[in-house]
A = this chain, B = another copy of it.
Amino acid sequence: MKQNKYDDPGFFDNYSQMARSVGGLDAAGEWPTFRALLPTLREKNVLDLGCGFGWHCRYARAQQARSVVGVDLSEKMLARARENTSDPAIEYRQLAIEDIDFPAEAFDVVLSSLALHYVAHFDTVCRNVHHCLVPQGSFVFSVEHPIFTALAEQDWYYDELGERLHWPVDHYLDEGPRQARFLGHEVVKYHRIVATYLNTLIAAGFIINRLSEPKPTQEMLDRHPETRDETRRPMFLLIAAIKNGQ
């Protein structure tokens, strides 16, 4: 059974209260960076892996995508996504990301936001995405950064006064599951190093187009000085890859 934490009622309630769950893409600090990595979506067939509440699906349609399929394992997430969507060109399917089985070359763009660090078999995902993309199609995704996932605690190291001293890294080169806490619940996240994300993509037939380890803009730092801590360690890793071939 694939991990389906989002159908746990307590976890779902907590997730629903997160800024990004209420405010959508504009409340997600990494969204401007993610958006900049996307190709033009106009007239494109788009697949969203781990679509959650459907924010990215609706965004794609607002950019005049031809069709969008959103995939998520959680019934509760999809119920909310359907509730908030009135657009026959968006289809939601309940499915684990590892289990997608779309026809060859069905999509021009596959995107995934902060879902793939929950998936045990990234190589399977890469092969399946490659299969269902057209040649030169785009695969754009964000994950929690390996610096962020290395230690299960996912927290700063504090001094005795509670000040953040630095971000602790340990077990970085030991890849695999981490019993992390997120929103007050135990969740399994999969720690993979940067090299594994890239080499797995390349082995599946992708060309690396661009990476990002986003940091707050100067405007954000001026308006919200507390975001300064977000420059001390990367929280997210974003990768844009292209399916090799004519």
Chain A residues with CB under 8 Å of chain B are 147, 151, 157, 165-174, 193-195, 198-199, 202, 207-213, 215, 230-234
* Bound Cα distance A232, B170 (Å): 5
Which B residues touch A166, using CB under 8 A? Answer: 151, 157, 168-170
Inter-chain CA distance A209–B203, complex, in Å, is 9
| Nearest neighbor of A171 in chain B, beta-carbon distance | B232
Overall SS of chain A's interface: mixed
Contact A168 B157 (CB under 8 A): yes
Residues of B within 8 A of A232 (CB): 169-173
Question: Of B167, B173, B174, B215, which contacts A170 at CB under 8 A?
Answer: B167
Q: How far is the CA of A233 from the CA of B165 in the complex (A)?
A: 18
Cα of A230 to Cα of B173 in the assembled complex, Å: 8
Return the chain B residue nearest A148 by Cβ: B169
Are the C-beta atoms of A210 and B202 separated by less than 8 Å?
A: yes
Q: Are B195 and A211 in contact (CB under 8 A)?
A: yes
Is A213 in contact with B170, judged by CB distance below 8 angstroms? no
Q: Which residue of B lies closest to A207 (CB)?
A: B207
Give the most central of A157, A172, A209, A234: most B CB within 10 Å. Answer: A172
Which listed residue (B168, B171, B211) contacts A231, Cβ 8 A? B171
**Chain B residue nearest in CB terms to A151:** B166
A78-B2 Cα distance, complex, nearest whole Å: 58
Contact, CB under 8 Å: A202 / B195 = no
Neighbour of A173 across the interface among B171, B195, B209, B231, CB < 8 A: B231
- In the assembled complex, the CB of A109 is this many whole angstroms from the nearest CB of chain B, namely 19
